[in-house]
Amino acid sequence: MLLRLFLSFACLAVIGTAAPVRAQNPVLEPDTMPVADTIPRELPSPRAALVRAMLVPGWGHVYTEEYTRGAVYFAIQSTSWFMLGKTIRRLNEVADREDRLRVLAADSLELEMAADPELAEALEDPDAYEEALLTYPGLRNARNLARARRQQRQDWITYTLFFTFAAAVDAYVTAHLKDFPTDIIAEPAVGGRFNLGVQVPIGSLR
């Protein structure tokens, strides 16, 4: 009788200690087990990066999450556009001044030709007439300045197109190699050249 009671208490003790262990380590049901996120991240489109870089300075690099390079290209392209606009404005001003001085020079020369038939006969040659106009005070300087401004405008148009093309190519290449473990360096250089480089991680040196 005593042996039977002892065995009963022993079974109850074993069951009492086993229940908390099972409660501390619950079995997850199939519906509640965590599932790993296997959906790949969508990569940027090279064509979309190219178009964005052509439309707005730095937009293509922001699209590819290259914010530092986007800021660099934004500064370069914005500066080139600013200088182009400034040069065009200054060219328009000097061109207007040249036109006003030319009108005044022509009126003054016509009066001189009307009073001097020999001068009128000598200035029948277009080249001689044009050279006589340039003797009017300020006209020659205005024409030379306008010529210099036109050259500056052409230079800034070239620079602006070059920087825009460089940014578009860099954004296109960056989007193409977004999933490649390298850093692509594509930067405009002095003299209208273009530097292209690749940085590949090779691990730490010990």
Question: Which of the four pLDDT bands, split at 50, 70 and 90, describes residue 185?
Answer: low
Number of domains the chain contains: 1
Entry field: residues in the chain: 206
Residue 31 falls within a domain, yes or no? no
The pLDDT score that the predictor gives to residue 182 is: 56
pLDDT (tens digit, 9 = 90+) per residue, 5-33? 444 544 544 445 444 444 445 555 555 54
Residues 57-80: what's their mean pLDDT?
Answer: 92
Alpha helices in the chain (DSSP H): 2-24, 46-55, 59-63, 67-115, 117-122, 126-133, 139-176
Domain-embedded: residue 117: yes
Cα separations (Å) of 70 from 23, 131, 187? Answer: 56, 52, 11
The pLDDT-based confidence of 43 (bands split at 50, 70, 90) is confident
Residue 85 belongs to a domain: yes
Instruction: Give the range of the structural domain holding residue 79, as residue numbers without chain letter.
Output: 51-179
**Residue 11 CA: distances (Å) to CA of 3, 8, 49:** 13, 5, 73
Smallest CA-to-CA distance from 183 within 193, 167, 170 is with 170
Mean pLDDT across the chain, nearest whole number? Answer: 79
Percent of the chain with pLDDT over 70: 67
pLDDT digits (tens, 9 = 90+) for 105-164: 999 999 999 998 888 888 889 999 999 999 999 999 999 999 999 999 999 999 999 999
Q: What is the reported pLDDT for 197? A: 64
Q: Which of 179, 165, 187 is nearest to 69 (CA)?
A: 187
Beta bridge partners of 199: 183
The answer to whether residue 38 is domain-embedded is: no
